[in-house]
Amino acid sequence: MAEEQTQNESVSHPLQFKWTLWHDFPSPRTRNASYAANLRPIASFDTVEEFWAIFNSLKEPSHLQSLHTYNLFKFGIEPKWEDAQNKDGGEWRVTFTPSQHSPLNDCWINTVLTVIGEGFGPEESDDIAGVVMNRKRGNNRVAIWTKTAADEKLQRSIGTRWRETSGIIADQHYLRFKDLIGTNKRPKPHYTVE
């Protein structure tokens, strides 16, 4: 019985993809540095057990200070618009007010679990690059980054499935990265799921 219990404890449950968790927080001395200078990989994982070991040690998004960002991306993809895997993509985005603590926390963990746990179809999963949680001064945001903004059917499928699995009540908007680069304006959403 003890031998069987030891064998069960050593069994791991592989994920479809390997993932890297990144953290971005511009400290006062690096606030004016480039985005890349503040971006740090925390850990990579490819099993359910490794995921929980990492995520159980993280603060919930609502407990982070303003300007913190968690980025969870497929291994080998950096959380940058300029990354080769992201340059033709965009992001599905949902925004929360600073007082919406539980919805922010719930959306973040439900989104992460759906993305790493194969909650999307194969084509959708292949197109997803990562998940981002931003704590901002005026609002907070959870986003799914995808690789091919031009594929409207695929993007709408991802947005709809995300809404179904994450408990999102607010409207979701899809923005293309090429519309965000080099502008201070708020671009109009390319796609919306209401």
Which of these, 89, 82, 85, lies nearest to 17 by C-alpha position?
A: 85
The reported pLDDT for the residue numbered 166 is 85
- Report if residue 169 sits inside a domain: yes
- Rounded CA-CA distance 57/142 in Å is 20
Residue in the structure block whose two tokens are 């993280």:
58
- Report if residue 2 sits inside a domain: no
Range of the domain at 133: 17-28+35-193
The reported pLDDT for the residue numbered 192 is 85
- Report if residue 11 sits inside a domain: no
The reported pLDDT for the residue numbered 20 is 99
- Report if residue 8 sits inside a domain: no
Number of domains composing the chain: 1
- Report if residue 7 sits inside a domain: no
The reported pLDDT for the residue numbered 9 is 66
The reported pLDDT for the residue numbered 63 is 94
The reported pLDDT for the residue numbered 181 is 80
Question: Residue 78 sits in a domain of what CATH number?
Answer: 3.30.760.10
**Tens digit of pLDDT for each residue in 117-131?**
989 999 999 999 999
Residues (pLDDT < 70) of the chain are: 1-9, 27-35, 183-185
Residue 74 near residue 17, CB atoms below 8 Å: yes
The reported pLDDT for the residue numbered 74 is 99
Q: What pTM value is reported for the model? A: 0.89
